[in-house]
Amino acid sequence: MAIIEVDSLSRNFTYYEKAEGLSGSFRNLFARKTMVKKAVNEVSFEIDEGETVGFLGPNGAGKTTTLKMLSGIMHPSSGEARVMGFVPWQRKKEFRKQISIVMGQRSQLWPDLPALESFDLNRAIYEIDHKEYRTTLDELVSLFGIAEQLPVQVRRLSLGERMKMEIIAALLHRPRVLFLDEPTIGLDLISQGAIRDLLKALKGRFGTTVMLTSHYLSDIEDLCERIILINHGESVYDGPLSGVNETLANRKTVRLIFSEELAEARLSAIPGFRSHDTNSAVFDVDRSEVRAFSRRMLDELPVIDLTIEDVPLEEGIARLYRGEASNG
């Protein structure tokens, strides 16, 4: 059953074009040209309870704007959305008590106070019973392994420790829906992995519905079975992570290694050329033409090794962004 329902959701931002120079600034006082940027353009999707869905897109695609609308921080320009049956931007008390949002670049914790004091403030805000609060806090602290850091000022914590505290603060009231916006941004590889492991454990323990944005593909591969891709404010793919390459199933990546260095000018003239590095090259080839292409390369170039691969996941996603996906 869908816990998040989005229908033709849009958000426009209005701004004014500024003419150049002093004379342009003077003209703007009397006649400003109004410009409209479509940050989110009629996006529609549903998410079932308990799902963890990756919400992906390049910078400026509309990911954070969408999360802000679904969490009630921002009003849409048009369209409809319901989260647990509530209209998010109405910000009803019962809605706010059942959702939470963590933004990797913004902190909800007081930097000069220990996290424990911010947790107690959240307890009061969400009107959590003292016994329930202590039970949940003890469970999360044990799971995250940060008991020794609880009395430390937040600003003295490492980025990884601080993000763990942010997630604990977001989960103290046991929300049914959790929005995570870049939860591992700026973290080293070890800390990223630790946060992902904790989020997987949380999913199993609490069954929380999670909508996750991230620029790190490893976050998505570890946590999400389904992804929604958004670009220029519009949805370009909604389906299983495994389906990205299935969408591009008629394409293959052919990698060639040569016995000598070849000029890029020579290789780039070959249809399907993607990249060149010293004595190797990568080509994008239609599935039906792989055999003929490979035979031609072996005949015409000093090839000592040839491999044929599916399109890498990262490349598949990038092509979907660019609108290069196959329809068949």
- Percent of the chain whose pLDDT exceeds 70: 92
Task: Provide the pLDDT for residue 269.
Answer: 93
The arrangement of secondary structure in 249-310, i.e. its CATH architecture, is 2-Layer Sandwich (3.30)
Between CA 225 and CA 227 the distance in angstroms is 7
* pLDDT tens column, 25-57: 666 666 777 778 888 999 999 999 999 999 988
* Cross-strand pairs, 77: none
Residue 59 has pLDDT above 90, yes or no: no
- Order of strands across the sheet that contains 251-258: 273-277, 280-286, 251-258, 303-310
Reply yes or no on whether the pLDDT at 104 is more than 80. Answer: no
Q: What angle do CA 54, 210, 94 make, to 5 degrees?
A: 140
Tokens of 136: 């949940």
pLDDT digits (tens, 9 = 90+) for 207-228: 899 999 987 878 888 899 899 9
Separation in Å, CA 268 to CA 134, 263, 274, 275, 307: 64, 9, 8, 8, 19
Question: What pTM value is reported for the model?
Answer: 0.75
Q: Give dist(CA 239, CA 18) in Å, integer.
A: 41
For residues 267 and 309, the model is more confident at: 267
- Distance, CA of 252 to CA of 307 (rounded, Å): 10
pLDDT > 50? residue 328: no
Q: What digits encode the pLDDT tens for the residues 72-91?
A: 999 999 999 999 999 999 99
324 band by pLDDT with thresholds 50, 70 and 90? low
At residue 95, φ and ψ (nearest 5 deg) are -70, -50
How many other CB atoms are found less than 10 A from the CB of residue 250? 15
Highest CATH level, class, for 2-9+40-243: alpha beta
> Does 125 have pLDDT greater than 80?
yes
Percent over 90 (pLDDT), the chain = 53
Sorted by where each begins, the domain ranges of the chain are 2-9+40-243, 249-310
Whole-angstrom CA distances from 157 to 107, 165, 211 are 13, 10, 26
